[in-house]
Amino acid sequence: MARVCEICKKGPKAGNKISHAHNVTKRRWEVNLKSVRAQVGDSHVRLRVCTSCIRAGKVVKSVHGSKSKPIVAKAS
């Protein structure tokens, strides 16, 4: 499974790891992906989304237990 955000299509970046002795080896910077249960239309889908999209509000998280009765505040 690819390490790519399903919202913004952000993927891993490549670069070099440089030691104190300036030895250069290849490395990857991975995207911080989270598996999120999101609401898409009327259905609930599990998406792999980066944390920057979650924080920006680009994902509408679905509520677990949506089949249960809604909580109604009693009038006092």
Q: How far is Cα of residue 75 from the mean position of the Cα atoms in its chain?
A: 39
pLDDT at res. 15: 98
Q: Please say if the pLDDT value at position 45 is more than 60.
A: yes
What pLDDT, on the 0 to 100 scale, is given for residue 73? 60
User: What pLDDT score does 21 carry?
Assistant: 98
3-class SS letters over the chain: CCCCCCCCCCCCEEEEEECCCCCEEEEEECCCEEEEEEEECCEEEEEEEEHHHHHHCCCCECCCCCCCCCCCCCCC
